[in-house]
Structure formats: structure tokens, C-alpha cells
Amino acid sequence: MELKNAELVLNTDGSIYHVKLNPGDVAETIFLVGDPGRAKMISEYFDEIEFAGQNREINTFTGTYKGKRLTVMSTGMGPDNVEIVVNELDALFNIDFKTRLPKEEKTSLNLIRIGTTGALQPEIGVVESYIVSEYALGLDGLAYFYEDGPHVLQQDLTDNFIKYMNWDERLPRPYGIKGSAYLIEKLSTGWRKGITLTAPGFYAPQGRELRLKVHDKSIIERAGDFEYNGQKITNFEMETSALYSLSAMLGHEAMTVCDVIANRVTDDFNPNYKSSMKNLVQNMLDRVLEL
């Protein structure tokens, strides 16, 4: 069925609405970062840049690195921004903008998030410390808005977490989701793997208080003691559950690797994390050459 104008929203120049990109502007292997400045930083490693675009908080650079065509794109912060970007990236490859129909032959993308994170286990350091999200536990509820959402979830992980936490039904229902086995096998050698908790905000959902009181300050602390298949929740951030659930529904490969810049248990923080981030970026650029 032809997609309606208010569903597949295009700009007057034919580009898709939020990311303001046209088919062909983006490579099939894409680095996703929250910070627009980090997208620019990663693009400076490219041998050449063939396309650069910007709209709202979304900066996009496509070019080549050692002969491989790559894109880096900023999403902004939070699962809502990731939901927009992943859907519109998929549309660039898998929907014909002229006929407004899904294509019969689908393209599977490699979506690799490079981010920063806070650790939830005391032994995890904050200097040159990287975590690959083998699983994500989403506290944002996003997957349940999609018909296929429940079908891609790790139901055992979901049920065990809800039971262990005695989850408050007034809060969004958590969901567990696995990252791409293909990308994790190819790209994560030598790095810690774990379960990443995705919060739908930086303050109350992560137990922080400024002037507003938090409904349940114990969530982060209690979650740190949860185990699934011998793995604990290693860290938390604000994007991975959305990336993993949408990618699983759409048929894309997705992986998150984060630079640990803080530890909520030990209260450590690395103010010089930018050098650590550059090391992570250089590693990832070289590793994706194998894809």
C-alpha cells in the first residue's frame, strides 16, 4: 500500500524530513553518535568526504576510510531521537520515494553506535575502558509501540528483570533485546561485553535529583545486582535499546560500544575522556574494514 504524505514525510527537495537526506547520501555502514561535534570529529579521519549535511541536531558525513565507504551521523540524545533516525535511515534504502512503496529487495545496514556511558559495577574503570552492549534493557517502553516489538525481544531476559526488580507498573514496561551477533563477533575482540540499561532520560530515570524528587532512587542500585546468564548490568546510557529493537524489527545489524567516562558506584569520573574517545574511534574505523 502506498505510504501517505503524513507517514512518509518528505521535504520540498525530496529529502526525508528530519535527517534531510536523499537516497544515495548514506553508506551501508553507519556510525551513530549522540553529539553533533563527535560526528564532525570522526569525519576528520576520513580520507575524503563526498557528502556533508546538517539539519537540527543531525550532522551527516559520508566518505571513505582506507577505501571503505562509511557514514557518520549524529542522532542527538535519547531513544526518541534514535527512533526517528533509524526509521528514516531504513526508508532511504528500503522505500521508493517516487512510488512511496516499500522495495521488494531489502538492504540490511550496519548501525554502530559509539557513545559514552556510566558504569554500574565497581571494578569497571573510567580510563581507556570500553563496553560492548551484548544485550540492552530498555526502560523507555519504545518496543511496545510497534506490532513486531514483542516478537524480537529476549523474553526470558525481560521477564527475569521485571520479576527481580518487582517492577512498578506505573512506570514503562522494561524490555530486553540482543545486539547483532554478527557485529559483536566481528568488532568487539578484547573489549568487555555486558548488559546495558537504557534510560529514557538523564535525571530522574537515572536516579539523579536537582530540584525535583525521584520516584524511586533505588532502581539503578538494584539493577546493578541483577544477573542474566552469568552477566550483570555493566552500564547505562540513553540510546541502545531503541537502536537494537528497531534494527531487529527492520532487519539491520546493530551494535553499541561505549567509552566509560563515569562510575556511579565508585563516583569516579574521567574529565579527560576525549583522548579515550579518539582511541575508541580509531579502533572502530580500523575494525569495520573487515565488514
Q: Determine the average pLDDT of the residues in 261-273.
A: 93
Q: Which amino acid is at 219?
A: I
What are the residue ranges spanned by the domains of the chain?
A: 29-290
Q: How confident is the model at residue 223 (pLDDT cuts 50, 70, 90)?
A: very high
Q: Which residues pair with residue 14 across a beta bridge? A: none
**Cell of residue 165, nine digits:** 526488580
**pLDDT tens sequence across 169-187:** 999 999 999 999 999 999 9
Q: What angle do CA 242, 243, 247 make, to 5 degrees?
A: 115
Is pTM beyond 0.75? Reply is yes
Q: Which fold has domain 29-290?
A: Rossmann fold (3.40.50)
pLDDT digits (tens, 9 = 90+) for 137-154: 999 999 999 999 999 999
The helix/strand/coil state of 76 is coil
User: 215: pLDDT confidence band, cut at 50, 70 and 90?
Assistant: very high
How many CB atoms are closer than 10 A to CB 81? Answer: 21
User: What residues contact residue 219 under an 8 Å CB cut-off, 6+ apart?
Assistant: 165, 207
Contacts of 53-57 with CB under 8 Å at 24 or more apart are: 53/20, 53/21, 53/25, 54/20, 55/18, 55/19, 55/20, 56/18, 57/81
| Residue 226 three-state SS | coil
| pLDDT tens-digit map of 34-70 | 999 999 999 999 999 999 999 999 999 999 999 999 9
pLDDT at position 124 over 90: yes
